[in-house]
Structures are given as structure tokens and as C-alpha cells.
Amino acid sequence: MTTTENAFPIPTQLFINGEYTDSSSSERVSVYSPVDGSLVTDKLQYAAEDDVNRAVASAQTAFRSKSWAGLTAKERGRALMRIYQVMLAHKEELAWLDRVTMGKPVNSGLAEVQLAADLFEYYAGWTDKHAGDTFPADDGFLKIVQHEPLGVCAGILPWNGPLALIAVKTAPALATGNVMILKPSEKSPLSALRFASLVADILPPGVVQVLTGAGATGELLARHPQIRKISFTGSGLTGKKIQRAAAESNLKRVTLELGGKTPAGIFEDCNLENAVKWAVDAITKNTGQVCIAASRIYVQESIAEEFVDAFVKSMKAAADGIGDPHSADTKYGPLADQAQLARVQSFFTEDAGKTQVLVGGHRHGEKGCFFEPTVLYNPDPQASVYKNEIFGPVACVRTFKDEEDFLQMANDTEYGLNAAVFTKDINRALRISSRLESGTVGVNCVSMLDYQVPFGGSKQSGFGREFGLYGLKSYTEPKSILVK
């Protein structure tokens, strides 16, 4: 580990078989702050093929070892509870490590650590409750179905929610007896490395390991013949590559969450104040860098003027919350890095003249990767900013006449991750929810998840489910046993 003048030590090595270790490659990579461009570290190591092989071998040994495979379900639950406790004990440090790489504001970062810890607590309670099935022996055979762990799993993480996604993938994997190799994004790798070292005193060596690296490292994991499952959260393009690599190697199981373009329908009978609040929060949270961000807002014509005026006013006010993420008063930080800032800005170059900008649309300030909360009105349906995932605080507002008009526009996309409807009519809410092509639908709320219920997408937003019982099932293989 490299110690700096910062608040906490910055981990730069790989974490394999229970300890920090140097990569077999001499390559060292620099990480910069998106707040002011300052250097965070220039010593980050990337995993090469030898390192991946070493980690997989260690994971395979751990998976079959008595110290892990020999634990009872209750003992695994106690281990997950200890992870919950150690994460809370190091809450400030874990949040800080994401803050220096991602610019995630203090309160937002602490809330993410809490969510991640809560997921380990939640799955700790599942370890001895994931029951199988039995069927009557009326044909002379007792039929038993039990759920068995897959083995060595890999989680490839996005940069926008490092700690949350560590827990989303690792907690159910461990609860069901698997072992996990994590590959964090090269943009936000530090919290994963520290997490692995914290749980090393709880879990046997090799149960949780971290390999930092870019796309090449992820491909090595996706193609490795001894890895039985890949869980990936990220772009559709990378997801297709992972699925292809998994199929061409050993047909490993794949869970893909590939982003979205969330539509929210605001009907004339809604609670307008509530709809505006959720619409603003849904596109500004994490500076819009959220896969379920409500970036398509559809408002019924009869209330369009009233809603848009209130929405624009609230988005203007949101800009006052942009600032130094190290301050507890800051609500919104920067975009991830210069590349993400350039991407968001590119939409306004490509779509010049195709949409009306009501507020925002520009970089915020002269330093760092900050971008103004932005509202676009009635954009061209073919405009890139309307059709594609932006991953910034940019909302497109369009008007609609009736339910059918809203549903046609909302479903006219290859994304199907999250959607919403705002109305006081419960019959309308349920009617529309059943027809929205989306893995999750919010009624009078949007961009809302709950780890008790499954989360995942339809169409090109991916497949497979995380959270709840479905998260456990995705890390197990059902086995049928027939007893004469």
C-alpha cells in the first residue's frame, strides 16, 4: 500500500489469496480527481493473465476447502454479519476512497456504504433459509431438489456505484457458498481493494479477491475456463462482449445489467409537487450517473406548462448544491472524469438545433468535471440525447395526450430497466404498470429500488436478476436427487 498525505492510505496492489500482492506486470496507472484534476495515485497496478490465473487457482482452492465449504449455513450467515459490522466500522474510510476517485459527496458516499453493509446484513439472514423442495414418493421415488453453489464467480463492477455493486454481487454469492473475484472499474478501484483487505480477517484466503484493471482484465475473467459465473454491470457494448466470451469459453452463467433510459409518465391527476420532487432527485442523484435515472419525462398536455415551470425552477435550484464533495453541505459532485464530461457535452454538439434547452446544458465552473442540471423540452425523437443513455444530469421532457400516447413513447426504446407512472388513480397505475416494458415500475416514485425484490432489465437492458431471493437463485444450480 502507498501512504500519502491524504486522510487514509491508498491501496494500489492487487488483492489475491488474502493479501496485497504485486501484479506480474510492471505497468503502473495514474488515477486523477474529477474535482480538480489532481493526482490521486500514479502507482495503481493492473492484473495480467498470470495474476488472473493465480487468483482463480486460489479461489478454486478456497471454494473446495473445509474452512469455507465446511461451514454450516448459519456460520456463513455469521460471517456475513461480521462483514456488515466491519463495513460500518470503516464507513468514513470506504466513502473517502470513492470520494477521491469519483467525487461522490460526503453524505452520498456514506449512504452508499450503509446500503452496501445493509445488503450483507440482509443476505446473512438468508443463508439458512434458502430451502429446496421435496415431492411425494407416490411413484416409488422420493424426489429432492437442493440448491448448490456454482463455484468461482466474478463480479465486474461499474464506476458509478463501486461499494453498492460490490455488495449486490458478493453478498448473495457468499450467502450461497460461492467464492468471488471482483474487478472494479479502473476509474474507481480503491474501495474494492480496501473492502477485500477488511474482510480478509473474516473469510478464508481466496474467498474474496480483487483484480484491478481495464477491459483486458475483464475479458480474461470472462474467458477463464474455471470461472462459473460472471455478473456484470455496465454498458451494452461491453455486456455483449462478455456474453460472447462466456459462451466461447465454458458456457459460464452470465447476469447482465446494461443500463437504461427510464421513462416517467406524469398524469394530470397526479400530486404535482411529489412528481416534481421525484423527477429532480431521479436525474440529479449521483450527478445523473445512475442506470435508472429518469432521463425521459413525459407530462400530460393539460398540466405541461405548470409541471415544466416547477421542474425547471427546481433544477435551477439544484445547481446551488454543486460543490466540493468533501463538504457535508454539497449535494452534487462532478462527473466521473474528463472522458465522461466530454461524452455528456458531445450530446449538445451532435443535437444542436434538435431540442430546446430550458435550463443548463453547460459545464459548471471552470475547473473539474462539473455539469449543470439540464432540462430539454420536446427534443426531436431521433435526437441522440433523447434516444441514448447520457449518464449525466440531463432530462428530456415531452408531452403526451393520453395513456396510449404515453405508452407508445415510453416503450419505443431498446432499454427496459426502470419506468414510472404518477397518478392518483390506482387502476390506471396498475394498468399502465403492466404494459410498461421494464423490469421495475414505480408508482408515484421513480428510480427507486428495494433489495427485497428483484432488480434487472428487459430488452437490451440485460437479463438475469439481482436482489432478494432471485439474487440467491442466480448463484446456485438446482440439483435433483431421486431416492428409491
pTM over 0.75: yes
Residues in the chain: 484
Q: Annotated catalytic residue: which of 112, 219, 257, 437? A: 257
Assigned C-alpha cell, 419: 419506468
pLDDT tens profile 358-386: 999 999 998 999 999 999 999 999 999 99
153 is an active site residue: no
What confidence tier does 87 reach under pLDDT thresholds 50, 70, 90?
very high
Task: Say yes or no to pLDDT of 3 above 90.
Answer: no
Taking Cα atoms as reference points, which of 364, 326, 324 lies closest to residue 344? 364
Residues 6+ apart with CB under 8 A from 44: 12, 28, 29, 30, 31, 186, 189, 212
CATH architecture designation of domain 14-258+462-483: 3-Layer(aba) Sandwich (3.40)
257 is an active site residue: yes
Question: What pLDDT sits at residue 4?
Answer: 43
Q: Annotated catalytic residue: which of 153, 270, 291, 369? A: 291
pLDDT tens profile 47-83: 999 999 999 999 999 999 999 999 999 999 999 999 9
d(CA 225, CA 199): 27
Task: Say yes or no to pLDDT of 143 above 60.
Answer: yes
CATH number for the domain running over 263-443:
3.40.309.10
Assigned C-alpha cell, 478: 438446482
- Break the chain into its structural domains and give their ranges: 14-258+462-483, 263-443
Question: What pLDDT sits at residue 40?
Answer: 96
Residues 6+ apart with CB under 8 A from 91: 110, 113, 114, 117
What confidence tier does 26 reach under pLDDT thresholds 50, 70, 90?
very high
Percent of the chain clearing pLDDT 70 (strictly above)? 99
φ/ψ bin of 43: left (φ > 0), alpha (ψ from -120 to 50), beta (otherwise): alpha
Task: Say yes or no to pLDDT of 141 above 60.
Answer: yes
Q: Which residue has the cell 494500489?
A: 12
What confidence tier does 5 reach under pLDDT thresholds 50, 70, 90?
low
Mean pLDDT for 451-468 is 95
